[in-house]
Amino acid sequence: MTFLKNRLFATLTTITILGALAVTAQVPYRLPETHTSQHRDLIANQKPITNPLTANRAVEASVVERENAAEIFNTAWNSESVNPYGNSYEIPSTKRIDVSDFHVPVPGRLSSPYGWRARFGRMHKGVDLTLNVGDTVRAAFSGKVRLTKYNAGGYGYYVVVRHDNGMETVYGHLSRFLVKPNQRVKAGEAIALGGNTGRSTGPHLHFETRYMGIPINPEAIIDFANKTTHKEYYVFEKASAERAVSAGSRGSKAKTSAKASTKSKRKATASKSTKARKARRR
């Protein structure tokens, strides 16, 4: 009898254990909701793994950028001349210049192009843009103001800005300065008011683009009709830029020689006429 009871108890125990295992297999264990919520928050706020190589490259790029800026704004900076470089610095034969942050200096139309001006007998080293006296003149690119000066026989009141891309821009015939030398400006920031000062035939902005003192035809960089640059980068070519300036100078000399020759011929003709009249009187 005792044996039968023990067997019955063992059988019931086995059935109970098997039933519990079956229930456990059917209903998986769930973590508390608070734990699940914390886990989700940890995943959402997890920061991306930083690649040490990428971080080093970013630091190197930052150092190079600072060094380039130091070179741009410390070279020939204190000169009072529109061209501060002169013949003292080596100018690269080519230079790729980022002009992507361009902002049109004034919204007016182009009224006089770059090049030789027969009317005035001189080289026009920029372009003229229409405006009214008092109109706002804005920086074409980001950079730092180098000069704010007055020149009675030429630019009148003018501003020279050296830009982060290495170029300089000149703004002439102004009526008022809105910036000071060594002031940082962003592309599109107001730097002056337009006017009619200096050697000017009417209100307009005289606008120049230069690289290391050498004038560049602004229309080679800028599409003034659409108020944007032709491309994101402009490739400066020293030889081409110098040829353009030289051609204007040769044109000036040729015009001067032609005028002198014409005057000489007129004098010779007048002298012959005078002699002929005197001969007839005798």
Q: What is the pLDDT of residues 39-55, one digit of tens each?
A: 666 656 665 556 667 66
Give CA–CA dist 151/82, Å, rounded: 11
- Given a contact cutoff of 8 angstroms between Cβ atoms, the answer to whether 198 and 152 are in contact is yes
Burial class (CB in 10 A: 0-12, 13-18, 19+), 87: exposed
- Which tokens belong to 153? 């026989």
What residues pair up with 185 in beta bridges, in sequence order?
143
**pLDDT tens per residue across span 234-261:** 999 999 999 998 887 655 444 444 454 5
* Residue 127 CB neighbours (<10 A): 22
User: Greatest CA separation found in the chain?
Assistant: 182
* Residue 14 CB neighbours (<10 A): 10
> Residue 254: what pLDDT?
45
> Residue 248: what pLDDT?
72
- Which tokens belong to 120? 């005035």
**pLDDT tens per residue across span 57-109:** 767 656 666 667 788 999 999 999 999 998 889 999 999 999 999 999 999 99
Give CA–CA dist 247/253, Å, rounded: 10
- Residue in 128, 144, 140, 114 with CA at minimum distance from that of residue 227: 140
Give CA–CA dist 220/237, Å, rounded: 11
Would you place residue 12 in the very low, low, confident or very high pLDDT band (cuts 50, 70, 90)?
Answer: low
Give CA–CA dist 205/220, Å, rounded: 18
**pLDDT tens per residue across span 134-165:** 999 999 999 999 999 999 999 999 999 999 99
**pLDDT tens per residue across span 184-230:** 999 999 999 999 999 999 999 999 999 999 999 999 999 999 999 99
Summarize the confidence of residues 107-128 as an average pLDDT.
93
Per mean pLDDT, which of 1-5, 114-118, 174-178 is the most reliable? 174-178
